[in-house]
């Protein structure tokens, strides 16, 4: 009886949502570094349309293979909003920002993305978190932003503006996609959003293709491959499912951990040193995520 109850608890939407959401955040944590590497040799516009175009073709194959039903007419406009936010808006604006700021500086803005996602969750998803939720959310955002600023990052008004617009569109796309995930399914939402963008992305991909690839280093192609396969498609399969299961506001707070996961990956892959400040800030953020999860739903 005890084991059955425990298994049932593991299957609860809240728990499943946080597990799927964490996997999505783990995948997304490599997006900014991979984008930074890609735009060193490839134009931001090409990186944006190529990642969307290739991922869109893969998504189309998946939809055909599993014989998925087409979205209803009423769902087309919300899907276009998703495409505008996470297929075009965030990838393009963040890629442009990488020409002006470092990926570490961009983490300041990733730190406020959970708060923006929660706001759009309230506006578009009808969620009503407990007032204490907002306290944990703002505190977590301040911890992330403060840690990034403490790293001694440079400032660029143009890069800052681009990243601010990027996270605004990303938060909108996250919330709208989560809302659609309930009737359509998580991977179906990002797949249909990518497919809807194909008529524009495929021609642009060939139009913006570099005239010569001789000077494009393998690292740039690897970066493009990562943001195409993982950031643009696989990550959203887990992320949208997690948001739909556990709630936009609650699961969205997992994004607070994303900058630290990115630094952790850099330490593992590039052998960079992890400071005690990073460990302390990460611990504080995890506590904020735990607190925000507890107060994600307002008591009636």
Q: Which of 114-118, 134-138, 290-294 has the lowest mean pLDDT?
A: 290-294
Residue 211 CB-half CA count within 13 A: 0
Confidence of residue 282 (pLDDT cuts 50, 70, 90): low
d(CA 159, CA 109): 11
CA–CA distance, 50 with 274 (Å, rounded to integer)? 34
Q: What is the mean pLDDT of the chain?
A: 83
Over residues 1-6, mean pLDDT = 38
- pLDDT top residue among 17 and 8: 17
- Mean pLDDT to the nearest integer, 88-100: 93
237, 69 contact by CB (below 8 A): no
- The two tokens of residue 200 are 């524009």
Q: What's the pTM value of the predicted model, to 2 decimals?
A: 0.82
Question: What separation in angstroms does the CA of 173 have from each of 64, 228, 243?
Answer: 24, 17, 12
**Residues 33-43, mean pLDDT to the nearest whole number:** 90
Min mean pLDDT across 199-213, 228-242, 244-258, 263-277 is at 263-277
Would the pLDDT of 185 be above 80? yes
Average pLDDT over residues 85-114: 84
Q: Biggest alpha carbon distance in the chain?
A: 66
Question: Which pLDDT band, with edges at 50, 70 and 90, does 300 fall under?
Answer: very low
Give residue 284's pLDDT. Answer: 78
pLDDT category, 283, cuts 50, 70, 90? confident
Q: Name, in order, each residue with C-beta under 8 angstroms of 202's C-beta and a sequence gap of 6 or more.
A: 53, 56, 57
Residue appearing with tokens 């769902």: 75
pLDDT tens per residue, range 71-81: 999 999 999 99
Coil/strand/helix, residue 194: helix
Is pLDDT of 13 > 50?
no
> How confident is the model over 94-106, as a mean pLDDT?
81
190 has a pLDDT exceeding 90: yes
Average the pLDDT over 39-56 and give the result: 96
CA 40 to chain centre: 22
Task: Give the DSSP letter of residue 86.
Answer: I
């Amino acid at each position: 009886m005890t084991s059955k109850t425990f298994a049932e608890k593991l299957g609860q939407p809240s728990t499943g949502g946080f597990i799927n959401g964490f996997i999505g955040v783990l995948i997304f944590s490599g997006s900014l570094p991979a984008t930074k590497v890609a735009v060193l040799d490839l134009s931001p516009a090409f990186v944006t349309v190529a990642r969307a175009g290739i991922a869109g073709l893969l998504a189309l194959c998946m939809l055909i293979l599993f014989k998925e039903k087409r979205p209803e007419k009423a769902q087309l406009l919300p899907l276009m909003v998703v495409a505008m936010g996470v297929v075009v808006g965030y990838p393009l604006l963040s890629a442009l920002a990488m020409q002006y700021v470092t990926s570490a500086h961009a983490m300041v803005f990733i730190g406020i993305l959970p708060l923006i996602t929660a706001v759009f969750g309230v506006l578009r998803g009808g969620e009503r978190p407990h007032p204490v939720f907002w306290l944990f959310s703002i505190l977590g955002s301040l911890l992330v932003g403060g840690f990034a600023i403490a790293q001694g990052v440079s400032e660029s008004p143009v890069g800052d503006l681009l990243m601010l617009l990027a996270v605004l569109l990303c938060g909108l796309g996250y919330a709208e996609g989560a809302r659609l995930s309930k009737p359509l399914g998580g991977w179906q939402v990002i797949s249909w959003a990518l497919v809807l963008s194909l008529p524009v992305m495929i021609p642009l991909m060939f139009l913006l293709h570099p005239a010569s690839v001789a000077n494009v280093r393998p690292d740039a192609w690897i970066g493009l491959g990562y943001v195409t396969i993982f950031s643009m498609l696989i990550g959203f399969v887990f992320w949208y499912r997690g948001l739909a299961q556990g709630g936009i506001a609650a699961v969205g707070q997992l994004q607070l951990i994303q900058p630290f996961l990115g630094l952790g990956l850099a330490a593992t892959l590039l052998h960079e040193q992890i400071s005690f400040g990073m460990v302390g800030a990460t611990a504080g953020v995890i506590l904020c995520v735990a607190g925000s999860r507890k107060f994600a739903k307002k008591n009636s």
